[in-house]
Chain A
Amino acid sequence: MAKETKKSGSSGGKQKPAVISVGADKGGVGKTTVARTMLDYFAAKNVLTRAFDTESPRGTLKRFHPRVTEVVDLTQVADQMKVLDTLHTSEVKVSIIDVRAGLLSRTLKDMTDIGFFDAVENREFKFALFHVLGPSVASLSEIEDVMPFTENGEYFVVKNHINETNFFEWDQDTYDRYFKRSRRATHEINVPKLNEMAYEQVEIAGVPFASFAQNKNDKNQKGDYSLVLRGYVRTWEKAIHEQLDNAGLMEWATEGAQAS
């Protein structure tokens, strides 16, 4: 797999491989959008990143980040090997897995079966789950299902404001209760709503959000995108990246890189 970003000091050496799963059991909550912003985030920080798109065979993530993304079917042993057996050998230490809608719980169980979480417990790998929630109460019950898998990792709850709905009609007490059951810290990322026209134009352009904001087309040449729409995308992504910074994602993912 080719690399999207410049080589930096963040690869090799004592840096432990980091696996970031982006998923939800509910469809249409914007998982791939979140994965795309994270690829842009690491690219902006010059951290080599690879991505696995489990939306086999279609691969929405691959459409936007073709150079770093591979489409895999995580229910297949061969593809599980492709992702997990290469964690130690790959010079790219950050792997993002965009988990197909509805398969999050199952994927986490499969990863348990193959001993991935034991390896996380033994500090061979680092693991973070970006759990993307939709604006419905149903999303709350997912938290209880998936949180145990992150006991030795990091858990990010992502509220994606994909439309104008009042995000959580949820009862805040109920929401808080889910997290109080776990004594560990949980990061919360709020993805603001992106202007529809801007989102649509990025879809049509088929380029990463960052490229669109920089007015670059899929051949990395100067694009012809609207300044206004580029501004919306830039501001929107900046707001997300600031939250990722505040949550310490960069430090977590590249921990140990300085020592190498």
Chain B
Amino acid sequence: MLGKSLAILVVSPHERSGTTLIARLFADFFRIAGQAPLLFDTDVQHPKFSKYFPDAQLVDLGTTKGRMNLFDTLPVRTLQPKIVDVTHRAYSDFFTLVRDIDLIAEARANNVEPVIVYVPHYVAEDFERGFRLRAYFDCEFMLAENAYLGPAPQELHSVNAYWALKAHPVRLQLPSLDPMALSLLEDERVSIAEFLMTSVPGYQPPPGERPPLPLAYLSFDARSKIRNWLKPTLREVQRAIHLVQTRQETPVTEPQPF
């Protein structure tokens, strides 16, 4: 019998929040650990997530067929985790549908635990939205704070929802990465998992093979910066995932020495 598995929904009400990067980190974390997550990209206008992972399914949430492709698969009992990069354009429709079809109950009935990974901007409205989201959907919730979005302004300190979410037990803190390194990491040809494996000093491609493209044009300095950001970030992802897996009594993914 299959154990419980996770369906990770990475969401933000705004664009440029880092949902795709976070979804990538989750996907690569599981891949590095030897799992084969099922991946979904919901941005048909400007698909990004599926560019990094050619096996990711691009689903159009504007059509019934697209909705069926995603929501009929998410609650299916599998050994592998599922990761969805939810575009900000579909944010409201996505949760309306999750509510209307009672995805959480259906998933649970099939031993799948949905995890909402919520990435707010530092504005009161986003924290209030996240607070309502957490209260409404009785499933795992993870607050993802992306340092790229800057520090929380002082006025946010008077917002109850801000403190309520900050006190949430499952959080993911994404450290900042300098813009140049970030733009290199955003290159669709760069695979995080492959980068980690091949960018170690002294790495030599197998005989007869050329080095993967990213390494061919990244400077030593850039490689070093990305590695120094990736390792603690993946440790943070691993910590957050393990916390959820422990809370949900889900089989724990093999720890990796990042």
Contacts and interface: CB of A to CB of B under 8 A. Distances in A.
A231 B72 contact: no
B68 interface: yes
B155 interface: no
A77 interface: no
Given A195-B64, A197-B64, A228 B102 contact: no
B100 A232 contact: yes
Interface string B155-179: 0000000000000000000000000
A182 interface: no
Contacts of A198: 64
A234 B68 CA distance: 15
Contact of A227 (B64, B65, B75): B75
A44 to B, nearest CB: 16
Given A195-B64, A197-B64, A231-B97, A226 B72 contact: yes
Contacts of B65: 197
Contacts of B101: 227-228, 230-232, 234-235
B71 interface: yes
A127 B75 CA distance: 45
A227 B103 CA distance: 8
Interface in B85-127: 97, 100-103, 106
B67 interface: yes
Contacts of A231: 71, 97, 100-103
B72 A227 contact: yes
Given A195-B64, A197-B64, A227 B71 contact: yes
A198 to B, nearest CB: 8
Identify whether the interface residues of B are mostly helix, strand, loop, or mixed. Answer: helix
A234 B100 contact: yes
B100 A226 contact: no
A196 to B, nearest CB: 8
A232 B68 CA distance: 11
A229 interface: yes
Contacts of A228: 64, 67-68, 71-72, 97, 101
Nearest to B64: A197
Contacts of A230: 101
Contacts of A227: 71-72, 75, 101, 103, 106
B100 A229 contact: no
A189 to B, nearest CB: 20
A196 B63 CA distance: 11
Interface in A222-240: 226-232, 234-235
B102 A229 contact: no
Q: Which of B65, B75, B101, B102 has the most CB of A within 10 A?
A: B101
A9 B75 CA distance: 39
Contacts of B102: 231, 234
Interface string A200-242: 0000000000000000000000000011111110110000000
Contacts of B64: 195-198, 228-229
B64 to A, nearest CB: 5
Interface in A141-195: 195
B94 to A, nearest CB: 12
Contacts of B71: 227-228, 231
B78 to A, nearest CB: 15
Interface in B54-94: 64-65, 67-68, 71-72, 75
Nearest to B101: A231
Interface of B: 64-65, 67-68, 71-72, 75, 97, 100-103, 106
Given A228-B72, A229-B68, A232-B100, 18 more contacts: A195-B64, A197-B64, A197-B65, A226-B72, A227-B71, A227-B75, A227-B103, A227-B106, A228-B64, A230-B101, A231-B97, A231-B100, A231-B101, A231-B103, A232-B101, A234-B100, A234-B102, A235-B101
13 contacts: A226-B68, A227-B75, A227-B101, A227-B106, A228-B101, A229-B68, A230-B101, A231-B97, A231-B101, A232-B100, A232-B101, A234-B102, A235-B100
| A-B complex: 4 closest residue pairs judged by Cβ atoms | A231-B101, A235-B100, A228-B68, A228-B71
